[in-house]
Amino acid sequence: MELSAHFAEAEIIRYEDDFLFIINENEAEQAFLAKLDQIFFRYGISRNHNKTEILNAASEFKFIGITYKKGIVSLGEEKMKQWKIRVIEDIKKQFRDFAIVKSLQPGIEIPSNIKIVNTIWKDHKKGLRSKTYRHSLRIKGINEGKGLVA
């Protein structure tokens, strides 16, 4: 289903069966939802009206576990702690793996500890574990003058 072909005027962020549509404030929200319902109907699916919200971009909202508040995107304290723990676990694992490689091949060139740490942090920001990084750039594009359908 190529929703972008039907909604060229909207920014669409999709995660599995969750959608965030960023539309211009001049767009008629109910007409937008009616068009969405028609498209979904053609594919034999329907929108959950209880989960559909129409918000102003200045509002605080959550989308797929990410909190957006006045241009700041965050996971929340608990999820951020869990994410950092996973990153640290990966760093420790990488150090162990390099230590094993070094013991088996003493002459091999191993990256510096700081390079290992920086690479892993960077990979986590880009990787599957970080919903925040993957979506924050798109969500940050919301200006206060735009409407929002989540």
pLDDT digits (tens), the chain, 150 positions: 678 888 877 878 777 888 888 777 777 888 889 999 998 898 898 988 888 888 776 778 777 777 777 767 777 777 778 878 988 999 999 999 989 988 998 888 888 999 988 888 888 776 544 555 555 555 555 444 444 444
Residues 6+ apart with CB under 8 A from 101: 108, 110
Phi first, then psi: what are they for 84, rounded to 5°?
-65, -40
Kindly provide the residue ranges of all beta strands, DSSP E only, lying in the chain, ordered along the sequence.
Answer: 11-15, 18-24, 54-56, 61-63, 66-69, 72-74, 146-149
